Structures are given as structure tokens and as C-alpha cells.
Homo-oligomer: A and B are copies of this chain.
Amino acid sequence: MKAATIRDVADRADVSVASVSRVLTGAGPVTETTRKKVMEAVDALQYVPHSGARSLSTSKTQTIGVILPDLYGEYFSELIRGMDVGARALGYHLIVSSSHDDAEEASAAIRSMRGRVDGLIVLSPHLDAANLATSLAGRLPILLMNGGADAGRPSIVVDNHGGAVQAVEHLIATGRRRIAHISGPTGNLEAESRLAGYLEAMARANLPTTVVEGAFTQASGHQVGAELAARSERPDAIFAGNDMMAVGAMLALQDAGLSVPEDVALVGFDDVPIAELVRPGLTTLRIRIADTGRSALERLVRLVDAAGAPADTACEVVRPELVVRPSSDPAAQARTTSGDRPRDSASLPHLKGENPQ
């Protein structure tokens, strides 16, 4: 028993394939009678159009590809969740491919997706990867989210620089002076902007800087945190390049017998879900991650639909918002309970499942 084709449906409904197609795609005129006959046949045969055949004649796949970097964790899974919500709302599918650290792997992933997707969202936070992507994509609409404010190509970036400045200014305002920075890896555009923001804010306040490089992973944050804790000139605050490193550093500081925020204040970046679950709750820069993912997807679909229209090459900027929790300000304690997290709108559809009993 092979799967039914449009011809089987046509035979059974006693109409032509064209009519079946018209009913199913909603294009073109059909009488209510044929409509019914077709739908009956469709149900009876459990017919589902062959997407390959359809994509062959329409040259659309209704699928968006997402190229993710090597780094995983909550940031990216939240982002994908948001994209998935947007995709389903628009009738698109999502093909994901993660763990592409270097340009070569990313290029292989893009190649293997060409012809299979209508558009691409590339999250590799390296400049070369981005360049590679645009050149490889050919005529494929592509949306960059690699952290580089890249005019000339449609992209969405977080205001990493501005966020870092906010973080540092907050620490200064709460009386910290020896503020160290755990940066993300060299070559990562997000990491570099955050570092630049830190340096600028510190320079403006005339404070000495300390920078140690991490890898955006919790393990690297732990390592660097332990190292900083052991220094004779121990910092009284640490601004980590992202939340995962901040959490790692927090554990290292606590393991070293230091107390957060009394001995060392701590600020992260991203506001991943666990930021409020660690103790003390982590001060961080909130990016509405799922929302950002969703709007990225919607924008890319707009690009796909508008192929040929006046090129959208805008670089959309997402401004992170400082969320103060006890890791930098003990007074924030009371506010950090597990219910306080404002949900992204992208997660609203899920709330219904959340009232226990």
C-alpha cells in the first residue's frame, strides 16, 4: 500500500487533479459540491500532499533553516523555542543544525541546507562565518544574528556595548570600584562588544580594568572565578560576559568561602532562566530571548515573501534591560522568588499548563 497521490484522490472524487489541487491550496474557484467530494476522498485516503513535489513546482519549501554555533545552553534553546512558535504561526517548519563552531562546519551545514529551506537564520558569532554565510547562501534570504552590527545585511543584534555599560555603571553606583570582567572568547563578536562596553565605562569612571578571557561556558566561568578569588588584589565585583560564566564564577567564589554579593558583586548577561534560580539570584541584562527568536523568524519570513522588493538591510537592535537581583544588591532579595519572572509573550501559549492541580 503506497501513499495516495493527488491522482488517486482525483479518481476517487471523480474530478480532475486540477480541482483537487485547487481545493487543497485554496487557489482558484471551486463549487461547494466538488469541494466536498474532494475533501471526502482526501479523508478516506488519508491523503497528504507530497511536500517535495509541491516544492518542486512552486519552488518554495515553507521551511526555515537555523544554523547554531557550538555553544549550547539555555540561551540558544530559548531562542529556538521562540522561533518555533513564530514558525508554526506562519505555517513554516524549522530545520535546526547546531554545533558549528568553525567556519568550515558552518559552511557545510549551510551547503546541506541549500535547496531545502526558503531562508536561513545564522547565529554563528564570528565575523568570518557571517561573511561565509552570505556568500554561500547565494540568492537565499539570510538573517544574521551573529552580534555584529552589520549594515548592508539584514540582521538583528543585541546592544551588547550598551548593556555592558549599564552593568558597569550599576556596579559603580552601588559602590564597587575593583570591577573585573570575564570576557567571552576572542573572535566572538558578542563577547568583543561586551568587553568594549566594559572598557569604555571603566575608562569613563577612571577605574583600572581587569580582564580575563573565558569561553562563555559555565566551566570556564568557574575556572576564572576561582583564579580571581585567589588573587591578592581581589576584585569587589565581577561582570561576566554571559550568565553561564557568571553562574560558574558564583560557585567558584562560594567554594572559595567568599560571599556574594558582600565580598564580590556579580553581574551576568542574557537573563537565561536559571539566572533567577541560583542563590543569590543573578543580576543580569535581560534579553527577551524567546521574543527575539520569534521576531527574527517573522522578519526572515517577511524577507522570503518579499523577495525582489526593496531590499531590507536594516540592522535591528535589541536593547537589554538591567535586572537587579541580590547577586549585586542584597536589597533586591525580597523580589527574587520563583514567580517573579515576566514571561516573554512567546511563551504565553504554554502558561495554560502551569497551574498545578
Contact = CB atoms under 8 A, between A and B. Distances in A.
Contacts of A179: none
B213 A356 contact: yes
Copies in the complex: 2
A55 interface: yes
A273 B339 CA distance: 21
B247 A277 contact: yes
Contact of A95 (B73, B76, B94, B218): B94
Given A48-B114, A56-B50, A115-B50, A337 B255 contact: yes
Interface string A187-212: 00000000000000000000000001
Contact of A278 (B63, B111, B277, B349): B277
A33 to B, nearest CB: 25
Contacts of A96: 80, 84, 94, 96
Residue from A88, A252, A254, A255 with most neighbouring chain B CB atoms (10 Å): A88
Residue from A3, A80, A115 with most neighbouring chain B CB atoms (10 Å): A115
Given A61-B52, A111-B48, A219 B97 contact: no
A99 interface: yes
Contacts of A84: 96-99
A143 B109 CA distance: 26
A96 to B, nearest CB: 6
A63 B95 contact: yes
Given A212-B357, A222-B339, A251-B277, A52 B99 contact: no
Contact of A115 (B52, B99, B116, B337): B52
The list of the 9 closest CB pairs from A to B, nearest first, reads: A77-B77, A52-B55, A220-B356, A222-B338, A48-B114, A52-B52, A51-B116, A213-B357, A52-B56
